[in-house]
Structure 1
Amino acid sequence: MIRKFFIVFIGMIAIVLINSQQHKSHRPTPVFRERITQLTLPNNATAIRENIIDNFSCENRIYGYYADIDNECQIFHVCLPQNRGSIRWSFICPAETVFNQETFVCTRVNNSIPCEESEQYYILNEEFGKEDEPENPEDATYDPLDIDNELPVTPFYPRDLRARRKPVTSQNKNRHSVSLDN
């Protein structure tokens, strides 16, 4: 009886494994979409700007944020160069604001540089990722390569804390209690 059960059990496992292998071989090969070339703005972008022009290109641009002058700086793009071409993400500023190329944020028009001057500020994108060098090397507060600059580290283990803590007894109980009668 056990032998029949064992043979039936092994047979069922074999059928399940064969079926799962067949399903894997019939799976469709994924089709990858080509690069998205149009603007990827929210659906309600035309509520902020009716006539959106899609002429901006990230080709031959370094990584950075770029005001779209054709759209009066209400739209800006983030460009990321790749080995072949570049990737562009597009964003629209909230109503009554424009992208300020000088500060890389959306601001009110009267707080921003004139949109038509934005292109001369594209060079500010070269500053992304750079760290300010101290004017005087002696002013540097931390040198990670200087071994004398490291602080000694004492390992902490919670069980050490329990070992150091004195148990509350009837003699020291009053020292640890808090009186609320004031």
Structure 2
Amino acid sequence: MVQASFCLSHTALTLVAVAVALPRSKRAAYELPDGVEFLVGSVKTSFTCPAKNGYFADVDNACQIFHVCNVVPKEDGSTEVQQYSFLCGNQTVFNQFSLTCALPEDAIPCGSSADFFYLNDRIGQEKVNLHDDADLQRAVQIIPRYQQAPFKA
């Protein structure tokens, strides 16, 4: 029993040492889970991050994929834009208005997503709400669920 315990401990330590020794690679854009094509079909890799931080719907993939963009300053004064891609759950799409995955009837139409990219500029700003009354009015006019029932913002 002691020998088996030693073997397991030794194996675990070896695996940890190998994992630490391997160089870490940064996550690439469109590095998505296996089987993504069963949910999305053929993934179009046309989206590139703008030179700004935020969450962005991928319109070319019917908003089933979204990207987190992160601008990182470098020592030489230039910047690098990191792009991380994510898949929304089955039967959901990225809602650029709420910056979440939602049922299509609860989301702005995918084709209108770029009209709401400006909301990213408000993330992290103190004393600034993500949405103002004008944003709410624009959204309720195009969100399918609110077309069926009256809604007052």
Shorter-chain TM range is 0.5 to 0.7
Q: Does 1:54 align with 2:45?
A: yes
Q: 2:66 aligns with which of 60, 76, 84?
A: 76
Q: Does 1:104 align with 2:95?
A: no
Q: 1:88 aligns with which of 83, 91, 104?
A: 83
- Tell me how far apart the structure 2 counterparts of residues 72 and 99 of structure 1 sit (CA, whole Å): 9
Runs of 4+ in 1 over 2 A off after TM superposition: 29-33, 35-38
Conserved in 1, the CA contact under 8 Å of 2:27 and 2:84?
Answer: no
* Aligned-partner residue type, residue 60 of structure 2: D
The secondary structure found in structure 1 opposite 2:111 is: helix
Percent of aligned pairs with the same amino acid: 33
The alignment yields a C-alpha RMSD, in angstroms, of 2.0
Give the aligned length.
103
**Between Structure 1 and Structure 2, which shows a larger proportion of strand residues?**
2
- Tell me how far apart the structure 2 counterparts of residues 113 and 31 of structure 1 sit (CA, whole Å): 41
Q: 2:112 aligns with which of 95, 113, 117?
A: 117
Greater RCO structure (CA 8 Å; 6+ sep): 2
Conserved in 2, the CA contact under 8 Å of 1:41 and 1:90?
Answer: yes
Conserved in 1, the CA contact under 8 Å of 2:28 and 2:84?
Answer: no
- Tell me how far apart the structure 1 counterparts of residues 58 and 35 of structure 2 sit (CA, whole Å): 18
- Tell me how far apart the structure 2 counterparts of residues 131 and 82 of structure 1 sit (CA, whole Å): 21
> Rg bigger for which structure?
1
TM-score for the superposition, normalised by structure 1? 0.51
The secondary structure found in structure 1 opposite 2:82 is: strand
Q: Which runs of 5+ in 1 are unaligned?
A: 1-28, 134-182
The secondary structure found in structure 2 opposite 1:78 is: strand
Q: Which runs of 5+ in 2 are unaligned?
A: 1-20, 74-78, 129-153
* Aligned-partner residue type, residue 41 of structure 1: L
Task: Give CA-to-partner distance per residue, 1:55-87, whole Å, 9 cap, x none.
Answer: 111142x21100000001000000001233211
